[in-house]
Chain A
Amino acid sequence: MPVSRRKLAAALAVCVVLPLSACGSGDDGGSSDASGKIEGDITFQTWNLRANFKDYFEGLIADFEKKHPGTHVKWVDQPAEGYADKISADAAGGTLPDVVNVSPDLVAPLAKAGLALDLDKDAGQYRKEYLDGAWASHQIPGMSGTYAFPWYLNTGPLFYNKSLFEKAGLPADQPPTTYDELFEDALTIAEKTDGKVATLANVPTVEDFGRYGVPLMNQEGTGFAFNDPKGVELLTKYKELYDAKALDPQALTATPESSGKKFLTEAVAMNPGSALDLGNFKKQAPNLYKNIGITDQITSTGHVNMYVMGVMVNSQTKRKPAAIAFAHYVTDAQRQMSFAKKVAIFPSTAGSLDDPYFTEEDGTDETRVRVAAAKSLKNAVNYTPVLFSEQMKTELRNEVAKALQGKESPKEALDNAVKACDRLLQQQG
């Protein structure tokens, strides 16, 4: 059957456009006013939580829907790997869910692109429910406002292998508590084991510089400053450790996972971790578990590092009241407390850390770690600047590696890293 070119072109155009039209979000008459009625369908995205907490979230969603008839929450969970890329694709394609589980470094570019709702404006009434530090963790230098509800916090102790300490002639019950002691012990262990046992498995990150007391950014938040003398001092010490094999030779290419594995296989003597790791040690490395020592994070500032998770509301949502209400519901004191009892995390809501669950020990390592972590969280700091992107982390890591290999002096390396990070910061806009 012959057909004219015009008809064929029209048919092809329909074929091309029809599937694309399905991508449109469509206007279903929702409310973009925060004070409107809580109703309608919203989508909630979590970060690798379905596998272990399916029942918890299904229950939470059911309770919310019951409390607010007329709402329906669709829960999607994304794997940990490539989470930022998934958000990027959704944000660029206009399909970002209404409520999204984020970390501060993910919020920053979304807020700059106008995709994260300013909660100071639209949900400021909830601010007092959260710890001040946690609320501030989703504020972006150079911008006013707060762009996500703080959710759970985490921090952890420094684990060490008592057996490896003893083999090096160091007292197993006196782990290092200052940086000087840490570096001294690390050099002793390397010397006594002929370089076969390293004490640390990772090169210093921006968080390590922060914990050492290095200023990371200038006052205005417009440029990085970790190339100051204190930063150079830390990197020079790491270079000494690397040369003496007190820092694992594979540290230059290590990831947190690979260094954790090195600790499990007793190839390194110390590793930072969290209460979650104790279960892993017990299951995967019973021999290590018998010799596990637990000590506080080492810091020169008096503030330990904490990791913050947040829940962001998409500023483009068509169901703003429902999205804000749900994001608050997920992160309110009651829900956070109940989540914390299921997994070793800590609530960011004011007063929750004073609950006996976080203050009373029962003699087990688990509660000892939990109570110590909860105590340190009260004045903990999220050292990683929210504007410090993945590309910046790579720049710093590569320059640190050059210094450790002796290709550049620590000062040159940090100067170059700051220069590269400043350039990336400017390109971020």
Chain B
Amino acid sequence: MATASRVRRQLPVSPWLFAAPGLLVIGAFVLYPFVSTLINAFTDRRTLIEGEFVGLANFRELLHDDMFWIGLRNSTLYVLGVVPALVVLPLLLALLVQKNIPGIAFFRSAFYTPVVASIVVVGLIWVWLLDERGLVNAVLETIGVGRVGFLSDQWLLLLSAMAVTVWKGLGYYMIIYLAALANVPRELHEAAAVDGAGAVRRFLTVTVPAVRSTMVLVGALSSVAAFKVFSEVYLMAGPSGGPAGEDTTLVMLVQRTGTGLTGRVGYASAISVVVFVITVALMLLVLRADRRSET
């Protein structure tokens, strides 16, 4: 019995040694910051000053902070604007480049290029294009439409940032769809064609059901990314978050509130906790919708 209990209390060391580097990294860069953020959310900690426990005061303040509601509105609008486009358009793009015809590799690479480009470079290029005196406005002026304030109107700014997110994300999700499309049996398409189904019908009745789980994955990934948007809006609307801060997103608010020598780390952590909760809820919502449509 004693030997058996000693054996039970002993663990093989090798798996732990293999896992140790990963565990250390996760512990230091994921778990510790996460727990620390959770704790800070209930304190009035500032960058250089240790805070005291303030209970739910930060969350109560959030309810009365106009900028928080603006951030929540913009992040939500971002999800609603970007996710449908990123679920559908890359699929269409993948169908276009799926066929093995001469020169198609060039188009596949071209569509993927924005993914590997630096977001800062991409953002700056779009700022130049959409500037009052940029290329897009020059074209609009030439055809008689007149100048459009893409970078000075709060809604056009948000829409422009969404367009950049979609443009930059197309190639990434296209690759995911290409992998899914490769697994769709050709016989299904052939059978549908024999039954007289046209291209649109085949797309709706064969392709979409076959890649539905991939669409859910893309929906989940893009909705989380869209809700946490920062770079595109920051680069196009500026550090103040557009005119009067009306284009501020929640993550921008976290950055603005919690960084710098006078940053309110406790309050910014409370906003981060809200972002985390909403992000998890979004994931659950997408997965639940998928499960419901399966039954």
> Interface on A for B, CB 8 Å cutoff?
1-5, 8, 12, 15-16, 84-85, 87-88, 91-92, 106, 109-110, 112-113, 115, 248-250, 252-255, 258, 265, 267, 389-391, 394, 397-399, 401-402, 405, 407, 424, 427-429
Q: Is the CB of A405 within 8 A of B244?
A: yes
Which chain B residues border A88 with CB–CB below 8 Å? 47-48, 259-261, 263
Known: A250-B151, A255-B239. A109 touches B48 (CB 8 A): yes
- Beta-carbon contacts of B155-175 to A below 8 Å, as 1s and 0s? 001000000000000000000
Which chain A residues border B264 with CB–CB below 8 Å? 391, 427
Known: A394-B245, A398-B245, A401-B245. 9 other contacts (CB 8 A): A16-B27, A88-B47, A88-B260, A88-B263, A109-B262, A112-B48, A391-B260, A394-B239, A397-B245
Q: Is the CB of B244 within 8 A of A252?
A: yes
Known: A1-B13, A12-B20, A250-B132. A113 touches B49 (CB 8 A): yes
CB < 8 Å: which of A15, A253, A254, A428 contacts B262?
Answer: A428
Q: How far is the CA of A398 from the CA of B7 in the complex (A)?
A: 67
Which chain A residues border B7 with CB–CB below 8 Å? 2
Q: How far is the CA of A277 from the CA of B259 in the complex (A)?
A: 30
Q: Is the CB of B151 within 8 A of A109?
A: no
Which chain A residues border B49 with CB–CB below 8 Å? 113, 429
Q: Is the CB of A5 within 8 A of B240?
A: no
Q: Is the CB of A5 within 8 A of B9?
A: yes
Q: How far is the CA of A249 from the CA of B131 in the complex (A)?
A: 11
Which chain B residues border A391 with CB–CB below 8 Å? 256-257, 260, 262-264
CB distance from A327 to the nearest CB of B (A): 19
Which chain B residues border A1 with CB–CB below 8 Å? 12-14
Q: How far is the CA of A323 from the CA of B153 in the complex (A)?
A: 50
Q: Which residue of A lies closest to B242 (CB)?
A: A253
CB < 8 Å: which of B12, B47, B238, B243 contacts A255?
Answer: B238
Q: Is the CB of B262 within 8 A of A249?
A: no
Q: Is the CB of B133 within 8 A of A267?
A: yes
Which chain A residues border B280 with CB–CB below 8 Å? none
Which chain B residues border A424 with CB–CB below 8 Å? 262
27 A-B contacts, Cβ less than 8 Å apart? A1-B14, A2-B7, A2-B11, A2-B12, A4-B10, A4-B11, A8-B11, A87-B261, A88-B48, A92-B47, A110-B48, A112-B48, A115-B48, A250-B149, A253-B152, A253-B237, A255-B238, A267-B133, A390-B262, A391-B262, A394-B239, A397-B245, A398-B241, A398-B244, A399-B244, A401-B240, A402-B244
Q: Is the CB of A4 within 8 A of B16?
A: no
CB of B125 closer than 8 Å to a CB of A? no
Q: Is the CB of A3 within 8 A of B13?
A: yes
Q: Is the CB of B261 within 8 A of A84?
A: yes
For window 14-73 of B, CB contacts with A under 8 Å fall at 14, 16, 20, 24, 27, 44, 46-49
Which chain B residues border A110 with CB–CB below 8 Å? 48, 261
- Shortest Cβ-Cβ A-B pairs, 3 listed: A113-B48, A401-B244, A252-B243
CB distance from A148 to the nearest CB of B (A): 14
CB distance from B73 to the nearest CB of A (A): 15
Which chain A residues border B245 with CB–CB below 8 Å? 394, 397-398, 401
Q: Which residue of A lies closest to B157 (CB)?
A: A253
CB distance from B287 to the nearest CB of A (A): 34
Known: A5-B11, A109-B47, A265-B133. A85 touches B152 (CB 8 A): no
CB distance from B6 to the nearest CB of A (A): 8
CB distance from B62 to the nearest CB of A (A): 15
Known: A8-B13, A401-B244. A254 touches B132 (CB 8 A): no
Known: A2-B12, A394-B245. A254 touches B260 (CB 8 A): no
Q: How far is the CA of A15 from the CA of B24 in the complex (A)?
A: 8
Which chain A residues border B14 with CB–CB below 8 Å? 1
Q: Is the CB of A85 within 8 A of B149?
A: no
Q: Is the CB of B48 within 8 A of A254?
A: no
CB < 8 Å: which of A113, A252, A398, A427 contacts B152?
Answer: A252
Q: How far is the CA of A144 from the CA of B28 in the complex (A)?
A: 40
CB distance from A144 to the nearest CB of B (A): 19
Q: Is the CB of A253 within 8 A of B240?
A: yes
Q: How far is the CA of A394 from the CA of B245 in the complex (A)?
A: 8
Q: How far is the CA of A134 from the CA of B13 in the complex (A)?
A: 64
Q: How far is the CA of A84 from the CA of B259 in the complex (A)?
A: 9
Q: Is the CB of A267 within 8 A of B262?
A: no
Q: Which residue of B lies closest to A107 (CB)?
A: B261
Give the residue among B48, B132, B237, B239 with the most A Cβ atoms within 10 A: B48
CB distance from B245 to the nearest CB of A (A): 4
Q: How far is the CA of A84 from the CA of B239 in the complex (A)?
A: 15
Which chain A residues border B20 with CB–CB below 8 Å? 12, 15
Known: A16-B27, A391-B260. A397 touches B9 (CB 8 A): no
Give the residue among A2, A106, A429 with the most B Cβ atoms within 10 A: A2
Q: How far is the CA of A279 from the CA of B201 in the complex (A)?
A: 64
For window 240-295 of B, CB contacts with A under 8 Å fall at 240-245, 256-257, 259-264
